[in-house]
Chain A
Amino acid sequence: MNLTKNGNGNGGLGQVRDRLSLDPLRDAWAGAPAAVRWIVYGLLIIGGLLLPSESIGSFMAPSGVDWPGMLSTQIAIYVLLAIGLNVVVGMAGLLDLGYVAFYAVGAYTMAIFATKYHWTFWESLVLAIAFSALAGVILGAPTLRLRGDYLAIVTLGFGEIVKRTANNSDYVNGPRGVQGIPHPPSLSEWEILGVQPLKYGLLDARPYYYLLLLFIIVSIIFVKRLERSRVGRAWASIREDEDAAELMGVPTFKFKLAAFAIGAAIGGSGGVVYASQQTSITPLNFEFIVSALILAGVVLGGSGNLPGVMLGAALLAWLPERFRELKDYRMLIFGAALVVMMIFRPEGLWPSRQRKAELAEGTGGMGSLGAEVAVPEHDGPGPVETREEGK
């Protein structure tokens, strides 16, 4: 087994992978002066603002599909949820298979408080984020002492409990769901380039997209700052070796709980926008497949690397919609694509260099498959990266 591995050496594949390496770009980025970086950030935001325009939409969306609608109800939501899930899975290394539960808590909080108590959108938003974070703590407090796959199955169970409770409760109309959730109140009639970005109505999906874009940018800043703080370092240490982290005096339980709560809060904020744009939600919106797709987006993009995660989630949301003409077969192809992707690029499309090194060196937090007899890989860029990581 070892011999075949080193002998055949994945020759062709390794070369392709080297060419796909993003290292030159990363080095350029790392060496770029602050001004350049800010310009790039600015350009990215402008790009994000221009994304719903028709010229991009004509390529991105098949004819007859509302591209801004697709962008706001699918892609932006998925990207936001992936950023939230990345905190839990990518940064703290906790496998969460029931992330959709927090999305559901956010959406249902919005729905209940807006329809039954007539709270405004912004009031409900704050409450929904608080409730989702609380749900994260409620789930996390008893279960975060579990590790690995036990945690995964418990979170999966929690996701199902939330969905089925919503399905069985007459208070939220059971399987029929909540209807008549108000749109957010319009902030102003201000118009630019034919768009009224602050007027939330029924027809134009673009204002919701801009709202989600704002959420995404805020989340990115928040998560990035966290990643570089004491909290982020604690998460990394928990991800790599929880026992060692504990012994080094990292209060692992506290930080794991924080990761759950923060991830949940971001997921909840996505649910709020979804509920207020759709104006009706049913338990069917919160199936396990949503959790699975977002997790797939996180891993496909490169777990732990924010740009990669966003790319992965956007691709996962966009591809099935783009190829609608394939109808029933798109999910079939999607399933096969996930498998193929994991076989040829298991670290994801755009992994962070640190994570890649961790994966090359050892188990990278999640551990490797059981019946794998580890072979030190000396071909390829492994050791180089490890050295760079060390400096």
Chain B
Amino acid sequence: MLDDFINQFWPSTIDGLALGAIYALLALGYTMVYGVLRLINFAHADIFMVGTFAALWTARSMGVSDVGGFALIGVVVLMAVVAGTVAGGGAMLLEATAYRPLRKKGASRLAALISAIGASIFIQQLMGTVGVRWIFGTSKEGGKLDVNEHFKDLSNVVDTGGIVIRNDQLIIFVGAVLMMVALDQFVNRTRLGRGIRSTAQDPETAVLMGVNIDRVVSATFLVGGIMAGVAAALYFLRFETTNYFVGFLLGIKAFTAAVLGGIGNIRGALAGGFTLGLLEMYGSSIFGSQWRDVVAFTLLILVLMFRPTGILGESLQRARA
């Protein structure tokens, strides 16, 4: 067991960082929405799923296979742009239809959670029953199957014997870090970012200070959606396959990552994502890959037992009642 861990240390570290980057990007969407609305946005995972289909569609319509080097980077950027646009728009639409009416009526958070679960089921089924057939024009039950597209060339960028980094892992890691830096700058430097932070701290005062809450909430969903779309493109780069329920487990993991890092805390989502990705990979090299998810959730329970506000603590958000 421990031998496996030592032998697999570098491969699992690198794979864990790549996986963690995807978790972290997805976790950002959860953590921002939670910070502003205090809502577990269950449908975020399905926004991500829609993004993977957008990425798939892009890869397919370009009709490339086995691209490497800078061409691959170009393909991924294009995929990320398309997926980010689709997912960002989808997230805004989701907010306007499923959450805004509830917010206007001052509904309880439990009602909002059920609405989120309903929206999640709806998006999933829409993709599974209609979406896939519409996009790919297949007469078969497309959504019920995995849809995949092979387009990348798996060459190693770094190979020192011990440490081997594949090009997809490098692109995922770098791409995700770039997005996170951009988001951090957006939230900390821009006017809208300040609006998001102030709404998260105290919505009533924010309104009194002239913050347009509706715009802030829309922007939060948009940004979260874009992050999910980019995560989807990167995910598709790594796994080259998707289906209509791909979001569910990944979504839970990403939310776990957000909680691990301290929910509502943007840098916490980052720390949580990488921690979860790494420990999951180490865990599966020790206990076997079928225990990967069990390791992740056990870790969550353990961390929350000893540090109930996550690794970095909550900061975007006011103290919980």
Interface residues of A, Cβ cutoff 8 Å to B? 1, 5, 89, 95, 142-143, 145-150, 152-154, 156-158, 160-161, 164-165, 167-168, 288, 292, 295-296, 299-300, 303, 328-329, 331-332, 334-339, 341-343, 346-347, 359, 363-375, 377
Contacts and interface: CB of A to CB of B under 8 A. Distances in A.
B259 A153 contact: yes
Interface string B110-149: 1111110111111111101100000000000000000000
Interface residues of B, number: 66
A335 B110 contact: no
B4 interface: no
A157 B207 contact: no
A308 to B, nearest CB: 14
A368 B296 CA distance: 30
B263 interface: yes
Contact of B213 (A157, A161, A331, A373): A373
A158 B297 contact: yes
Contacts of B99: 369
Nearest to A155: B301
B102 A346 contact: yes
A296 B125 contact: no
A328 B128 contact: yes
Contacts of B256: 153, 157
Given A335-B125, A337-B118, A367-B38, A150 B108 contact: no
Contacts of A158: 297, 301
Nearest to B291: A168
A332 B320 contact: no
Given A147-B320, A167-B290, A328-B125, 19 more contacts: A142-B305, A143-B305, A150-B308, A152-B113, A158-B297, A160-B294, A288-B248, A299-B111, A335-B118, A338-B118, A339-B115, A339-B118, A342-B115, A346-B102, A366-B108, A368-B107, A369-B99, A369-B109, A370-B39
A150 B126 CA distance: 30
B321 interface: yes
A329 B298 CA distance: 36
B111 A160 contact: no
A369 B110 CA distance: 9
Contacts of A369: 37-39, 99, 102-103, 106-107, 109, 112
B114 A168 contact: no
Contacts of B109: 366-369
B252 A336 contact: no
Contacts of B321: 147-148, 363, 367
17 contacts: A1-B207, A1-B213, A5-B104, A156-B252, A164-B290, A164-B293, A335-B124, A339-B97, A339-B115, A339-B122, A342-B115, A363-B321, A366-B110, A369-B106, A371-B216, A371-B217, A373-B203
A236 to B, nearest CB: 16
B101 A153 contact: no
A150 B259 contact: yes
B119 A335 contact: yes
A153 B300 contact: yes
Contact of A154 (B37, B105, B301): B301
Contacts of A165: 294
A331 B109 CA distance: 23
A154 B263 CA distance: 13
Contact of B98 (A145, A168, A288, A339): A339
B40 interface: yes
Nearest to B211: A371
A146 B314 CA distance: 14
Nearest to B321: A367
A296 B252 contact: no
A372 B106 contact: yes
B304 interface: yes
Contact of B122 (A154, A167, A328, A332): A332
Interface string B298-310: 1011001100100
